[in-house]
Amino acid sequence: MRILGLDPGIRCTGYGLITIDRREPSLEDYGIITPPPDVSMGERLSVLYDDLAKLIGTNKPDEFAIETTFYGINVKSALILGQAKGVALLCAARHGLPTAEYAPRKVKLATTGNGQARKEQVQFMVQRILGMDHIPQPMDASDALAVAICHHQQRTLLNADLSTEVQGG
């Protein structure tokens, strides 16, 4: 199972790809997509779509997980982030990927055990969970890895619940 996690943004979109083998996540790839800042919004969104499509085509993930927009930011910022998220969701759908969305608080809770953890705590736990010898940078990429880890944990919990229901009758 390969999971592509995404932390969408219009200036910088983080991505993280993990592989699940015997229920254990391992690192495959991570990085950022950065559209040129001096082009129109439409061109930035087009670059995001094209680069994400290339990433999906090359890495062939089985599932896609994305962080939802944080509502504590101002309306203009939320709308801009929503455009980047929409392009990412469209790209995943066009590639036939099952998609899940997770709130930032849920991602933090899944990786650190604390829904109000600081970004540095998330980075540290992503490093530990994936057995990396360094802190994943930049933060957008680390956040995307955390989204993928959160998705893996949610899938594991769901499968355990379904197994219990089937056994329990």
Determine the number of helices (DSSP H) and then strands (DSSP E) in the chain. Answer: 5, 5
pLDDT the model gives residue 162 = 45
Q: Retrieve residue 148's tokens.
A: 């993928």
CATH of 2-168, one of 2.60.40.10, 3.30.420.10, 3.30.300.30, 2.40.128.50: 3.30.420.10
Question: Can 67 be counted among the known catalytic residues?
Answer: yes
Cβ-based neighbour number of residue 113 at 10 Å: 10
The arithmetic mean of pLDDT across residues 121-141, rounded, is 96
Q: Where do the domains of the chain lie?
A: 2-168
The catalytic residue among 140, 143, 161, 165 is: 140
Contacts of residues 106-112 at CB distance under 8 Å and 24 or more positions apart, as own/partner, are: 106/150, 107/67, 107/143, 107/146, 107/147, 107/150, 108/146, 110/146, 110/149, 110/150, 110/153, 110/154, 111/146, 111/149, 111/150
Question: Does position 167 have pLDDT exceeding 60, yes or no?
Answer: no
User: Among this protein's residues, is 50 annotated catalytic?
Assistant: no
Q: Taking 60 as the threshold, does the pLDDT of residue 28 lie above it?
A: yes
Question: Among the listed ranges 56-60, 71-75, 88-92, 134-138, which one has the minimum average pLDDT value?
Answer: 71-75
pLDDT band at 118 (very low <50, low <70, confident <90, very high): very high
Q: What are phi and psi of 5, to 5 degrees?
A: -100, 145
Once rounded to an integer, what is the mean pLDDT over residues 141-152? 97
**What is the reported pLDDT for 166?**
41
pLDDT band at 165 (very low <50, low <70, confident <90, very high): very low
Q: Which of 62, 67, 133, 161 is catalytic?
A: 67
